Structure 1
Amino acid sequence: MHYTYFKTFKLLFFIASALILISNAASAQTQPAAATAATAPAAVAGVQTHLDKFFKEYDKQGTARAVIDIFKTNKLMDSTRLTGLIVKIDSMRSVIGKYLGKDLIMQRKASNSLVLYSYLLKHEGQPARMTFMFYKPKNDWEIYRLYFDIDVDGELAESSRVTGKP
């Protein structure tokens, strides 16, 4: 029963993430190399400030406060979609347990105006992933996209498959 309930949530979040991706036609090309400790690009100052505040609020004050505050940087965000995102993240958090911390998975820079940060979120029950895309149309960074999913373990397992290709 619990496994079926969890699988249903996993499927719903996958669908929700896909819908968020599809709903906005803008896309950016990113560099394919994964960031490592030795080659990781330097943190983008304005973006890092937003991220630090987000994770502090996510931990201490909850999803709603963290998501609402980071999206205050984006004046064009649809509040209906924002509410849906908060509900989806909170629903999953109730299943995967208490938030324990984060690890940077990767940072990509498409240009001086578009960057992406992906984090592994450590929860008691299982890992999750949160990916932030920031855009700087003029002088200030604003959140452009926020993705949340729990399939990071599935992707890692899939990447280990033998494909027969060099």
Structure 2
Amino acid sequence: MPQINRTATARRWFMGLAVFFAISLSGPAFAAASYDEALDAFFSLLTEGKASEAIGGLIATNPNWYAGGEGIAETTSKLELLPETFGAYTGRERIGLYEYSSRIHVLTYLMYNAEASLRMEFIFYKPENEWKIINFNFGEVSSEELIENARAGVFRSITDK
């Protein structure tokens, strides 16, 4: 039976919890009744160089989302490096809204920077009256992905005729 290093596990848990509280207390609570408002606030803060507050605002819509705090510091660090890596922010565009159900929506954005664009994906859940973030990820848009999507669009336009 493998040994569990309880001290290291407890240390990671407490560190994650500390990061979670620091970010969630520093970030503004986004209006969760509309995920559009939450994402407008997120992108606004991100373009002002306030990645920690942007992530904190998303977390505020669903404090249990990152209850362990794992990955928050890493995600925040990556977001803070975006201008340095990809150049100045030049805009954003929603390229997809998939309504998985009436209560789960997946939103995909392209975030345009001087050197490259990034794809950002958000999944929101509405258990009752307010939308809560349940997933967020981002990454570079590859040429292969763009070509594949363009070909799929051409194919759809041909088959729809």
Identify unmatched segments of 5+ residues in structure 2: 1-31
State the TM-score, normalized to the length of structure 1: 0.64
C-alpha separation in 1, matches of 2:151 and 2:130? 42
**Comparing both chains, which one has the higher relative contact order based on Cα–Cα distances under 8 Å and sequence gaps of 6 or more?**
1
Identify unmatched segments of 5+ residues in structure 1: 1-43
C-alpha separation in 1, matches of 2:131 and 2:150? 36
Question: Hey, what does 1:65 align to over in structure 2?
Answer: 53
Question: Hey, what does 2:90 align to over in structure 1?
Answer: 100
Equivalent residues of 1:99, 1:124 under 8 A apart: yes
4+ long deviations beyond 3 Å = 158-162
**Alignment match of 1:74 (pick from 57, 62, 72):** 62
| Offset, 1:152 | 4.5
Q: Percent identity?
A: 26
Q: 1:90-126: per-residue Cα shift (whole Å, max 9, x none)?
A: 2344210111110111111111210011111010111
- State the AA in 2 paired with 1:68: G
State the TM-score, normalized to the length of structure 2: 0.66
Equivalent residues of 1:128, 1:152 under 8 A apart: no
C-alpha separation in 1, matches of 2:143 and 2:55? 24
Question: Hey, what does 2:123 align to over in structure 1?
Answer: 133
| Offset, 1:157 | 2.3
Provide the aligned C-alpha RMSD in A. Answer: 2.4
